[in-house]
A and B are shown apart, each in its own frame.
Chain A
Amino acid sequence: MAYKFDFGAIVPHWELLLNGVVLTTELTVVGSVIGVSLGVLGAWARASRAPVISQIVGVYVELIRNTPFLVQLFFIFFGLPALGVKLTEFQAAVLAMVINLGAYSTEIIRAGILAIPQGQIEAAQSLAMNRVQIFRYVVILPALKKIWPALSSQIVIVMLGSSVCSQIAAEELTFAANYIQAMNFRAFEVYFIVTGVYLVMSILLRWMLKVFGNFLFERRNHV
Chain B
Amino acid sequence: MSLVELHAIYKSFGELEVLKGIDLRIEEGQVIALIGRSGSGKSTLLRAINGLETINDGTIMVAGKKVGDRDTDLLTLRLNVGMVFQQFNLFPHYTALENVMLSPQVVKKLSKAEAKEVAEEMLIKVGLSDKMLHYPDQLSGGQQQRVAIARALAMKPRVLLCDEVTSALDPELVNEVLAVVRQLAEEGMTLVMVTHEMRFAREVCDKLVFMHQGRIHESGAPEDVFANPKTPELANFVGGLAGAA
A residues apposed to B, CB below 8 Å: 117, 119-120, 122-130, 133, 137-138, 141-142, 145, 217, 219, 221-223
Contact = CB atoms under 8 A, between A and B. Distances in A.
Interface in B77-113: 78-79, 81-83, 85, 87, 89-95, 98, 101-103, 105-107, 112
Contacts, number: 76
B71 interface: yes
B78 A130 contact: no
Interface stretch (B2-10, B16-24, B147-155, B180-188): B147-155
A127 B103 contact: yes
B89 A123 contact: yes
Given A119-B85, A219-B135, A125 B105 contact: no
Contacts of A126: 50, 52, 78, 81-83, 152
A127 B89 CA distance: 12
B89 A119 contact: yes
B115 interface: yes
B103 to A, nearest CB: 4
A145 B91 CA distance: 14
13 contacts: A122-B52, A123-B83, A123-B90, A126-B82, A126-B152, A127-B78, A127-B82, A127-B151, A128-B79, A142-B91, A142-B92, A223-B94, A223-B102
Contacts of A223: 94, 98, 101-102, 105, 112, 115
Nearest to B78: A128
A125 B90 CA distance: 13
Contacts of A117: 87, 89
Contacts of B75: 128, 130
B93 A141 contact: yes
Contacts of B51: 125
B94 A222 contact: yes
A129 B107 contact: yes
Nearest to A130: B75
Contacts of B78: 125-128
A216 B85 CA distance: 29
B89 A128 contact: no
A122 B79 CA distance: 14
Contact of A221 (B52, B92, B98, B152): B98
A124 B93 CA distance: 14
A145 B92 CA distance: 11
Contacts of B50: 126
B103 A128 contact: yes
Identify the interface centre among B51, B81, B102: most chain A CB within 10 Å of its CB: B102
A213 to B, nearest CB: 13
A101 B93 CA distance: 27
A214 to B, nearest CB: 14
A163 to B, nearest CB: 37
Contacts of B82: 126-127
Nearest to B148: A123
Given A127-B155, A223-B105, 17 more contacts: A120-B89, A122-B52, A123-B90, A125-B51, A126-B78, A127-B102, A129-B103, A129-B106, A133-B106, A133-B107, A137-B106, A142-B92, A217-B93, A219-B93, A222-B98, A223-B94, A223-B98
